[in-house]
């Protein structure tokens, strides 16, 4: 399941850009591959993150994966609900399972990301 209105990274994160704000999460494909997610470690608000840099980790029962941000910016909000309900990432990766919100640094970076069609191709490989 790929959402048409989002942009994607090769590391299977999505970003929704609205003005100078961006919301980030992992894709449905990623949550499926990760399996039951049991814990999500997110950056502290205020931290500046660089495009494709790591911003946290996601744990399933027997695996740990890095989270990378598809775009640079300052963390303005993290999804606190995931602390008690990490399953939201599995249940609703594009909705309740969002990870962080950023204040964008350079919306021009969007050109380094994949359009929905290209991402679909990537995961079909």
Partner 1 sequence: MSAPASDRTASPLIFELGQEGRATQYVEHGKPLRSFMPEGVLRDDLPLPDNTELDVVRHYTRLSQRTFGIDVGFYPLGSCTMKHNPKVNDALAGVREFAELHPFTPDDLSQGALQVMYELERSFCSLFGMAAFSLNPAAGAQAELAALLIAKKYFRERGETQRDKVIVPDTAHGTNPASAAMCGFKVISLKSDARGRVDPAEIRTVVGPDTAVCMMTNPNTLGLFEERIHEIADAVHEAGGLMYYDGANANALMGNTRPGDMGFDLMHLNTHKTFTIPHGGGGAGHGPLGVAGHLVEYLPTPYVVREGDRFRLDFDRPKSIGPVRSFWSNFAHVVRALAYLYANGAEGLTKVSQYAVLNANYMRVKVAEFLETPYPEICRHEFVASAQQLKKETGVRALDIAKALLDRGYMAPTIYFPLIVPECLMIEPTETESKETLDGFVAALRDIIETAKTNPQELLDAPVTTVVGRVDETRAARQPDLRWRPPR
Partner 2 sequence: MYTPHTKADIEAMLEAIGIGSLDELLRVPDELKLRAPLDVVPALPEYQLRRRIEQIAKRDSGVDYVSFLGGGAYRHYAPSAISALAMRGEFLTAYTPYQAEVSQGYLQAIYEWQTYICLLTGMDLADASVYDGATALAESAIMAMNATGRQRFLVSRAVHPNYRAVLKTYCDGLDVAIDEAPLTDDGTTDLRVLAEMLRETQYAGVALQSPNFFGNIDTLDGEALESVHKNGAVPIGVVAEALALAALATPASWGAQIVAGEAQSFGVPIAYGGPYVGFIATTNEHMRRIPGRLVGKTVDSAGRTAYVLTLQAREQHIRRERATSNICTNQAHCALIATIYLALMGKTGLRDVAALNLERSRELATAVANAGVRLRFSAPFFNELVVDVGRPAGEVLAALRERGILGGLDLGRWYPEYSTCILMAATELTTSGEIAKLAAALQEVTRVGAGV
Binders of partner 2 in range 19-48 (CB under 8 A) = 38-39, 41
The residue among 86 and 93 lying less far from partner 1, judged by its C-beta, is 86
Q: Smallest Cα–Cα separation from 113: which of 56, 57, 51?
A: 51
Enter the tokens of residue 29: 């494909």
The interface mask with partner 2, positions 45-84, x = CB under 8 A, is --------------xxxxxx--------------------
Shortest Å distance, C-beta 99 to partner 1:
17
Closest approach, Cβ 62 to partner 2, in A, equals 6
CA dist 89 and 96 (Å) reads: 7
Residues in contact with partner 2, total (CB under 8 A)?
A: 9
Parallel/antiparallel/unpaired status of strands 63-68 and 48-49: unpaired
Q: What minimum distance in Å lies between the beta carbon of 41 and partner 2?
A: 8
| For partner 1, the closer CB: 20 or 36 | 36
Rounded distance between C-alpha atoms, residue 68 and residue 56, angstroms: 7
With CB under 5 to 8 Å by kind, the binding choice for 36 among partner 2, partner 1, none is partner 1
Does 62 participate in binding partner 1 (rule CB under 8 A)? yes
Ranges of H-type helices in 9-48? 28-34
DSSP class of 9: -
- R_g over Cα of the chain: 13
């Amino acid at each position: 399941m790929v959402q048409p209105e989002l942009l994607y990274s090769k590391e299977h994160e999505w970003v929704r850009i609205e003005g100078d704000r961006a919301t980030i999460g992992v894709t449905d494909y990623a949550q499926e591959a990760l399996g039951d997610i049991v814990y999500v470690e997110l950056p502290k608000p205020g931290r500046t993150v660089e495009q494709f840099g790591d911003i946290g980790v996601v744990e399933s029962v027997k695996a740990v994966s890095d989270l990378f941000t598809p775009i640079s910016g300052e963390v303005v909000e993290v999804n606190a609900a995931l602390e008690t309900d990490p399953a939201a990432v599995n249940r609703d990766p594009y909705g309740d399972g969002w990870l962080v919100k950023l204040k964008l640094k350079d919306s021009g970076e969007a050109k380094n990301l994949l359009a929905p069609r290209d991402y679909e191709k990537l995961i079909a490989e």
